[in-house]
Amino acid sequence: MLSKTSMTSLACALVLVTRASAQESLRDSVLAPEQGIVATKSTIAFYLEEKDLLPESVAYDPKDKSFYVGSTRKGKIVRVDEKGDATDFITPRQDGLWMVIGLKIHPTRRILWVCSYVGENLEGFKASDTRSSGVFAFNLDTGKLVRKWTIEKPGEVHAFNDLVLTRGNDAYVTHMFDDAAIYRISDKTQELEVLARPKGLQYPNGITMTPDESTLFVAGDGGMCALDPKTGVSRMLQAPEGDSLSGVDGLYYYRGSLIAVHLTSVRRHRLDKANSRVVSTEILEANHPLFDIPTTGVIVSDDFFYIANGQFGAVQKDGSLLPLDQMNEPAILKLRLK
């Protein structure tokens, strides 16, 4: 999920419109930084009927080919099966869930990992609420809670945002706001511990890992960093002049490059062989007519499935939403990478 600064600026600029007029209005507002660039290569994978989900995350189970979509508004997770039928897999606020942010699946261990925290999108949110956060692990076959790790400290703002999993089921988790850090949950110890607080990186957000599990990549305000998961030593990634690595939400490693969901586009940042710097960038998608704060996604083989419209600007100052007839159905887009 975007940082407070990014979300606020987008929400202020955003004009919510019907799908028929989305392209014209969005180009006039949040897409201004990339005005003139149109690359609608994405196709629609599926819609969700609940307009008020305010989705932020999506995961995929290769066993039964189902997608899982997390709701920041209702604090639940929707399962969309191979036929496109949607049902609640994790019910609203089940086991203490708050806004559902990052989702990842460990397909062999059959675990659905979830990042969750108290935030303005959540239905019933009050400014006086303790800004708690947690990492939840659910059984992917039954939906039952396996374990959760939470931080609940009055007066502090905590926000576990996204995570990446190793083959051995270790989790590396980004944490924003009062503690800008990368946390680790080892499958062996089952303890939540700080791995690193990367210098130069505020609001750690998207996170991914190389296939050999030797390097983590983390996106945040100020750019991206590469991090050693064993030592926690990090370095900021460099890129060619004019090639921005900021404003990234979802981040995914793919064939020697980083697939990044920026504020208004999806880009492929190609890395050098040492994974030490970005050597070039390709805009894969920009100014799609359904874009209304694109957030995160999941790579399935050579296809990237991602949320097109989080619609976070629909949340009013009093916590209510815009009327549903002024909102759109959440859309998951599909983008061919190869």
Burial of 125 (0-12, 13-18, 19+ CB in 10 A): middle
Q: Going by C-beta distance under 8 Å and a sequence separation of 6 or more, which residues neighbour residue 200? A: 222, 223, 225, 236
Question: DSSP state, 118?
Answer: -
Looking at residue 197, its pLDDT comes to 95
pTM, two decimals, is 0.89
pLDDT tens digits, one per residue of 134-181? 999 999 999 999 999 999 999 899 999 999 999 999 999 999 988 899
Nearest to 48 by CA among 24, 14, 76: 76
**CA–CA gap between residue 249 and residue 270 (Å, rounded):** 17
Ranges under pLDDT 50 in the chain: 4-33
> What domains sit in the chain, N to C, each tagged with a CATH number?
4-336 (2.130.10.10)
Residue 36's pLDDT is 57
Q: How many CB atoms within 10 Å of residue 138?
A: 24
